[in-house]
Structure 1
Amino acid sequence: MTKNICCKPHLLFAAIVALAVGACQKKGETKTETETTPKKDSTEHFPKSIAEPLVTDIYTADPSAHVFDNKIYIYPSHDIEAGIPENDNGDHFDMRDYHILSMDSVGGPVTDHGVALDIKNIPWAGRQLWAPDAAFSKGTYYLYFPVKDKEDVFHIGVATSKSPAGPFTAQPKPIAGSYSIDPAVFQDTDGKSYMYFGGIWGGQLQRWITGKYDTLGKEPEGDVPAIGPRMARLSKDMLKFDEPVKEIKVIDKDGKPLLAKDHDRRFFEASWMHKYNGKYYFSYSTGDTHFIAYGIGDSPYGPFTYQGVILKPVIGWTNHHSIVEYKGQWYLFFHDSILSKGKTHLRSVKVTRLQYRPDGTIETINAYREE
Structure 2
Amino acid sequence: MKNRFFLLLVFLLIALATTDLRAQNPIIRDVFTADPAPLVYRDTLFLYTSHDTASVQETNYKMPDWRIYSTTDMVHWKDYGTRLSPRLFAWATGDAYAAQCVYHKGKFYWFISTFHQKDDNSQGGAAIGVAVSDRPTGPFTDAIGKALITNEMTKDLPHAWDDIDPTVFVDDDQQVYLYWGNGSCRWVRLKDSMTALAGPITTFTPQNYIEGPWVYKRRKLYYLVYASAGTKPEMIEYCTAPSATGPWTYRGIIQQNVLNSFTTHPGIIDYKGQSYFFYHNGALPTGGSYRRSICVDDLRYNPDGTIQPIVQTTTGVAPIK
Q: CA deviation at 1:84?
A: 7.9
1:282-293, aligned counterparts within 5 Å? 282-287=224-229, 288-293=232-237
Q: Secondary structure at the match of 1:332?
A: strand
Identity %: 33
The answer to whether structure 1 residue 273 and structure 2 residue 215 are counterparts is yes
Amino acid at match of 1:299: S
- Cα deviation 1:141-171 (Å, max 9, x = unaligned): 1000000112440000000111101121123
Counterpart for residue 164 of structure 1: 136
In terms of mean alpha carbon deviation, does 117-126 or 190-199 score higher? 117-126
Distance 1:340 1:184 in 2: 30
Q: CA deviation at 1:129?
A: 1.1
Task: Quickly say closer, same or farther: Cα 1:276–1:334, change in 2 above 3 A.
Answer: same
Count of residues in correspondence between the two structures: 274
Distance 1:153 1:84 in 2: 26
Distance 2:243 2:51 in 1: 33
- Cα deviation 1:237-262 (Å, max 9, x = unaligned): 00121111101353xxxxxxx4xxxx
The answer to whether structure 1 residue 242 and structure 2 residue 198 are counterparts is yes
Distance 2:90 2:297 in 1: 37
Counterpart for residue 40 of structure 2: 67
Distance 2:140 2:293 in 1: 23
Counterpart for residue 309 of structure 2: 364
Distance 2:88 2:217 in 1: 34
Verify the 8 A CA contact 1:285 1:293 in the aligned structure 2.
Answer: yes
Q: CA deviation at 1:192?
A: 1.1
Amino acid at match of 1:277: R
Counterpart for residue 52 of structure 1: 25
Which structure's residues are more often strand, by fraction? 2
Gaps of 5+ in 2: 1-22, 119-123, 155-161, 315-321
Q: Secondary structure at the match of 1:268?
A: strand
Verify the 8 A CA contact 1:102 1:111 in the aligned structure 2.
Answer: yes
The answer to whether structure 1 residue 319 and structure 2 residue 257 are counterparts is no
Distance 1:167 1:73 in 2: 15
Counterpart for residue 65 of structure 2: 97
The answer to whether structure 1 residue 79 and structure 2 residue 35 are counterparts is no
Verify the 8 A CA contact 2:297 2:311 in the aligned structure 1.
Answer: no
Counterpart for residue 288 of structure 2: 343
Q: Secondary structure at the match of 1:77?
A: strand
Q: CA deviation at 1:85?
A: 4.2
Amino acid at match of 2:163: S
Gaps of 5+ in 1: 1-49, 87-91, 201-227, 251-257, 259-265
Verify the 8 A CA contact 1:51 1:352 in the aligned structure 2.
Answer: no
Distance 1:285 1:346 in 2: 18
Counterpart for residue 230 of structure 1: 186
Verify the 8 A CA contact 1:282 1:295 in the aligned structure 2.
Answer: yes
Counterpart for residue 181 of structure 2: 198
- TM-score scaled by structure 1? 0.70
Q: Secondary structure at the match of 2:209?
A: coil
The answer to whether structure 1 residue 123 and structure 2 residue 126 are counterparts is no
In terms of mean alpha carbon deviation, does 177-186 or 304-313 score higher? 177-186
Q: Secondary structure at the match of 2:258?
A: coil
Verify the 8 A CA contact 1:356 1:363 in the aligned structure 2.
Answer: yes
The answer to whether structure 1 residue 112 and structure 2 residue 56 are counterparts is no
Q: CA deviation at 1:368?
A: 4.4
Amino acid at match of 1:242: A
Distance 1:248 1:300 in 2: 13
Amino acid at match of 1:301: T
Distance 1:238 1:291 in 2: 31
Distance 1:368 1:116 in 2: 29
Distance 2:220 2:297 in 1: 23
Q: CA deviation at 1:140?
A: 1.1
Q: CA deviation at 1:359?
A: 1.6
Distance 2:186 2:36 in 1: 20
Larger gyration radius, structure 1 or structure 2: 2
Distance 2:195 2:131 in 1: 9
Distance 1:82 1:349 in 2: 18
Verify the 8 A CA contact 1:51 1:351 in the aligned structure 2.
Answer: no
